[in-house]
Structure 1
C-alpha cells in the first residue's frame, strides 16, 4: 500500500477555523417564542427559542461577515444569505414556476419527543419551541401540509444546505453518466481530471468517492483544526483557483478503495472536479438546465465557488424552502416530474440504497451515493447538513420534510428530535 504525506495547508483567517467550533447543548431550549401569524397558509414569527443566544438585545439579528459567519450569534443572518457573504454563482429559476397545492389548514401532527429535549407527546408548535428551526416544510405528493418560518426568515430567503449539497452532486453525476459525459463510475478521478495523476484521490474510482470509501485519511470533526476547516480555507476561503491543486493536500492512503467508510467532504469536492471537467461547463448552469428549471423552481438557487468560479459542491447550495420541497418531491417520486423522467430511475435507486450499513458507518444511518439511508425498519433516505439542515424522503408515501436550522453545534444532539418529528409525520400520513 502506498502512503504519501500532505503539504501544509495555508492558515489564512480564523474564518475557516469556522466549520468548526463546538458547544455542547442537550437541555431543552429556553423560551418558547411568540405565537405564529398565518398569511396565505404560511406560519411565521419574528422570534423563536434561544433568542438570548441568537439575537441582539433589541430582538434583531446581527449582520454576519466572513470573519463571524459560523458563530452562533450571527447564524440566523448568515445561514440565510451565505451567497452574499462568499463568492457564488446562480442556477436560474424556471420561467413559469410549477404550482404547489396547499392544504386548507395544517394537519394535527403529534410526535413523541426525543430524550434530548424531554420525553412526552408534542405538537409541531412544541417542536418549533424546542428547536432553533428557521424553516419547516412538510409536503406530500405536491401538496404543502405545513410551511413555517422562525426568526423573521421568510419564503424569499435562500437558506443554506451545508452537506445536503453532496446529494445534488451525486444526482448530477448520474445525469452525466447517462448522457455519456462519464463513461463509468469505475473510472478513476484522474482519468477525467488529468491534473490529479499521481495523487491518491486521482487513483480512486468514482464509485468509492460516491460512497465515501476512498480509503484516504481525512478528519472531519468540526473543531476548527480538522481537515474540513483546511478544505474550507482552500476552496471558498479563496486560496484555490480551479480546484485541482486541492486534493494533494489530502494524500495519505490508509485503506484500499471500497474497504473502509469514513465521512469526508474532500470526496465530494473531487467528484465536483470530475463533474465540471466531464460536462465542460459550469455545474450551476448544468443543474439549472437539467433539474432546476424542469422542476419549475420559483427562485434562483446559488452555489458557493472558489476564486475561479468552480462550485465547491460539498456544501454551499442555497435555495428557498419551497424549491427544496420541489426537489424533495422529485426524489420521492422516483425521479419523475410532470410526466418526465428527470433523474435516471436506476441511478436514483443505486443512490438511495445502503452500500454501507449503519453498523459500518457507526452513524445509525447507512450510506448510499452521497446520501444517508434510514435503517430498513424506518425506510426512506435523507439529505443531511450540519447545524440542522435536512431533507427526509419517504418514496412509499410520496412524502418529504424539509428542515433548515441554526443549531449551535455541528454535532448537536437535537437532530434526534427532528427524527422523532419525522416519525410522527409518517404516522399521521
Structure 2
C-alpha cells in the first residue's frame, strides 16, 4: 500500500483524472497491490495475424494504426483461443505499462462475487447484502439481494452523471476527505427511488458496496482476495494495483484497478473459459460466464436499460445486441471511461482488451468505431480456416 507521493499530482476526485495523467493519478492514490503468483500463462502467436486488418467507418477505410492514432489507444490486444492475433501499443504505453481501467473494475468485482460463491464464502446470490454488511441495516440498501446489486437494480437513488444528481458532489467530498469508511457512510444515507429489481440504474457506489461485501465475506481485503482467486490462478505476469478510498480504507470496487494489457487479456480468458483457470484450479461456479454475461431479468434485457441503448446488462457486464451479422451473439464487454474495454465472445473464442486515453469520459463516435473494429476482427478470425 502506498501513500500519495505528491498530493498536487493526484486529482481531488480520481474519476476526473485527465487521460494523460490518469496512470499517475491512480498510482499516486492510496492503493493495495494485487500480487501475481505462480507460473505465467503464455500467450503464443495465432496463425492468422491481424496486423493488416482494415475496416470502414463513415466512408473511410482505416487500419489498426489509423484507429490507434485517431482514438489515442494505449494498448490493443486481440486473442483467439488464447493466442495473439494482434498486439500494439501507443500514446507512450508499452507492454509493462499499468493502465487504469476505470469501470472495467466492476466486471472484476462481479467475478470476485462469483469466486466467493464458488468457494463458499457467499452462500447464495439471493442472500441479503446486509447479512455480510450489517452497516447497511436501516439504510435504503437493507434487504437488497446480492443478485439485484449485481444487476444494478438496487432501487437506491444514484447517478454517475455529474450534472444529474447532487450526490456526485458528496462522493467527491468523501474521496477528498481521505477518511476510511467515508464511502460506506455516504451510501448508507442515500434514499430509495424504486423497489429493488424493478429498474436498472447504473451506480458505481453499488459496486463499491459489492466489493466491501466480498471483503467482509472472505475476511480479507478485496485486492488480497483478487490475488488469491484471480490473479494467481489466471497466470498473470505482473502485479496490479487497486485504488483505495483512503489510506487503510476499502478498495473502490467500481473503479481504480490498474493492470498490464496482457493481464487484462488473461482475465478475459479466465472468464471466457468459465473459471477453469490456467493453474488447473476452478475458481468460478460452472456456468458463471453465461449467467454473468447475459441479462437475466426484464429490466436488464436488451433495449430495456435506457432509451436508445440496444445493449442488455448481466452481472456488471454489458451484453451486446447481436446486430444484423450476428457476430456479437452471446458476447459481453466490460467498459470503462476514456475508452477501456474487455470484450469476450464465447462462441468465437475471442477476447479483446483495449486501453485508451480518450479526451472525454464517453465518446459515441469513438465507441462506434471501436465496436466496428472489434466486429471486423471477430469476423476476420472466424473466416480463417486455421482459427
Bigger CA drift: 303-312 or 393-402?
303-312
Partner of 2:311: 365
1:136–1:404 Cα contact (<8 Å) kept? yes
Is 1:87 aligned to residue 33 of structure 2? no
Residues 331 and 395, structure 1, Cα contact 8 Å, conserved in 2: no
Partner of 2:244: 305
CA RMSD of superposed structures (Å): 2.2
CA-CA distance at 1:240 after TM superposition? 3.8
- Counterpart for residue 3 of structure 1: none
| Residues 334 and 395 in structure 1, CA contact (< 8 A), matched pair in contact too | no
SS at match of 1:186: coil
1:66: which partner in 2? 11
Tell me what 1:424 maps to.
376
> Per-residue deviation at 1:202?
2.6
Q: Cα offset for 1:224?
A: 9.5
CA distance in 2, matches of 1:404, 1:426: 18
1:80-138 per-residue CA deviation (whole Å, 9 max, x = no partner) reads 3444221100111124322110247544222222xxxx333322122113211111111
Aligned residues: 360
Tell me if structure 1 keeps the 8 A contact 2:319–2:332: yes
Say if 1:357 and 1:367, in contact at 8 Å, map to a contact too. Answer: yes
1:384 equivalenced with 2:335 (yes/no): yes
d(CA) in 1 for partners of 2:242, 2:125: 24
Equivalent residue for 2:4? Answer: none
Distance across 2 between alignment mates of 1:151 and 1:66: 21
Give the whole-Å Cα distance in 1 for the aligned partners of 2:281 and 2:188: 41
- Change over 3 Å in CA distance of 1:245–1:70 after alignment to 2: closer
Larger Rg: 1
TM-score w.r.t. length of structure 2 = 0.86
SS, match of residue 347 in structure 2: helix
1:136-174 CA-to-partner distances (Å, cap 9, x unmatched) read 111111211111111211111110111110111111111
Matched position secondary structure for 2:343: strand
Distance in 2 (CA, whole Å) between partners of 1:272 and 1:388 is 23
Counterpart-to-counterpart distance in 1, 2:345 and 2:130: 36
Selected match of 1:336 from 270, 276, 279: 276
What is the rounded CA distance, in whole Å, between the counterparts of 2:205 and 2:30 in structure 1? 19
For residues 200-252 of structure 1, give each alpha carbon's deviation from its aligned partner in whole angstroms, at most 9, with x where no partner exists.
Answer: 113311111110011111111144975345334424761343753231232x2
Between stretches 325-334 and 207-216, larger displacement belongs to 325-334
Distance 1:138 1:226 in 2: 40
Matches within 5 A, 1:143-182: 143-182=83-122
Which piece of structure 1 moves more, 417-426 or 128-137?
Answer: 128-137
Which whole-Å CA distance do the structure 2 matches of 1:224 and 1:80 have between them? 27
Other structure's SS at 2:338 match: helix
Q: Could you list the runs of 5+ residues in structure 1 that have no partner in the other structure?
A: 1-62
Mapped partners of 2:285, 2:268: distance in 1: 15
How far apart, CA to CA, are the structure 1 residues paired with 2:65 and 2:226? 35
Q: 1:181 is paired with a residue of what secondary structure?
A: coil
- Structure 2 unaligned residues grouped into runs of 5+: 1-7, 382-387
Normalised TM-score (structure 1): 0.78
Query: In terms of mean alpha carbon deviation, does 347-356 or 236-245 score higher?
Result: 236-245
Give the secondary structure class of the aligned counterpart of 2:363: coil
| Cα pair 1:132 1:406 within 8 Å, conserved | yes
Match of 2:321 in 1: 375
Partner secondary structure for residue 136 of structure 1: strand
In the alignment, is residue 108 of structure 1 matched against residue 52 of structure 2?
A: yes
Question: Matches of 1:354 and 1:169 in 2, distance apart?
Answer: 17
Structure 1 position 385, deviation (Å): 0.6
Q: 1:143 to 1:232 in 2, by over 3 A?
A: farther
Tell whether the 8 Å contact from 1:82 to 1:160 is kept in structure 2 after alignment.
no
**Out of 321, 325, 345, which is 1:394 matched to?**
345
Change (3 A) 1:357 1:191: same
Structure 1 CA distance, aligned partners of 2:94 and 2:355?
A: 12
Q: Deviation string for 1:365-391 (max 9, x for gaps)?
A: 200111110114422000011110111
Moved more, 234-243 or 215-224: 234-243
The Cα shift of 1:263 comes to 0.7
